[in-house]
Structure 1
Amino acid sequence: MVHLKPLKRSNPQDAEVPDKYYAKAVGNGVTDLHRLAHLIANQSTVRKADCLAVLQALQHNISDELGQGRIVKLGDFGTFQVGVRSNGVDTEEEVSQNLVKSAHLNFRPGRDFQSLLKTLSYKLVG
């Protein structure tokens, strides 16, 4: 169940418009690599230490591949890709790496996660 809280926001394009409230998804705890390794070990014949080693190697290799500019596809899980935000310039010739303001990760969920997103349930929390 996804927890929601009300969030009051103003309209940045029109300060005269009254503020509105929106639903904002909030975290309900954290699951780290150790917890994932524990869960996987309980669902298989693989020991927690082995699961943790594989998950840490996966994390390391995804990071390395993204650092090389590669798109990382993890089957039905989804796809990771580096994206950037940059300043705009008038001509194509002016584009350079110096325009990059920041980098971020894009995640495109696979089919299973897309299906999950369509069937989520929600709970308003105070």
Structure 2
Amino acid sequence: MNVKYVLALKGNPGNPDAPKKYYAQTKSVGDITLKQISREIAENSSTVSDTDVLAVLNDLTKILNRHLKNGEIVRFGDFGTFQINIKSEGAESEEKFTTAMITDTKVTYRPGSDVREMLNNIKFEKL
């Protein structure tokens, strides 16, 4: 199956007078839940049930959150790594900086070798 995309006409925010251009944007064709993933994993294994897999995936989510919250980089082998990143307002000096100046937090994901390989071989189809 190919990744679907649509074209969107967008202006250049750095140069509002520049002509607009068409850019590709991915378009999802659905989603999958953790419960559905657990069933799919269980179907490919003869030794565990989907309930067992779901329990492990739920614990994995809790552990991932705990370690990210502790400021650790979480490495999932060939799947990739997760890390907390922040944005903040600037301060005139270190003494004037407060945590209230932190404006955004996000989790950054960097793909591992298996996911990079998938990305290198991906095919696209206009929706």
User: TM-score, normalising length from structure 1?
Assistant: 0.93
CA distance in structure 2 between the aligned counterparts of 1:8 and 1:90, rounded to whole angstroms: 39
- Counterpart in 2 of 1:19? 20
- Counterpart in 2 of 1:87? 89
**Correspondences of 1:1-126 after superposition (within 5 Å):** 1-45=2-46, 46-125=48-127
Q: Return the letter of the residue paired with 1:61.
A: I
Following superposition, the deviation at residue 98 of structure 1 comes to 2.2
User: Where in structure 2 are there 5+ consecutive unaligned residues?
Assistant: none
- Percent identical among aligned pairs is 32
Following superposition, the deviation at residue 89 of structure 1 comes to 2.3
Following superposition, the deviation at residue 92 of structure 1 comes to 3.8
CA distance in structure 2 between the aligned counterparts of 1:94 and 1:78, rounded to whole angstroms: 37
Secondary structure of 1:114's aligned partner = helix
Q: Return the letter of the residue paired with 2:105.
A: A
Instruction: Please list the CA deviations of residues 57-101 of structure 1 after superposition, one character each: whole Å capped at 9, or x if unmatched.
Output: 101110111111111111111100000011122334433322200
Q: Return the letter of the residue paired with 1:107.
A: Y
User: Where in structure 1 are there 5+ consecutive unaligned residues?
Assistant: none
When the two chains are superposed, the root-mean-square deviation of aligned CA atoms in Å is 1.1
Following superposition, the deviation at residue 18 of structure 1 comes to 1.1
Secondary structure of 2:24's aligned partner = strand
Aligned residues: 125
Secondary structure of 2:109's aligned partner = strand
Q: Return the letter of the residue paired with 2:44.
A: Q
CA distance in structure 1 between the aligned counterparts of 2:97 and 2:122, rounded to whole angstroms: 42
Following superposition, the deviation at residue 117 of structure 1 comes to 0.7
CA distance in structure 2 between the aligned counterparts of 1:89 and 1:48, rounded to whole angstroms: 51
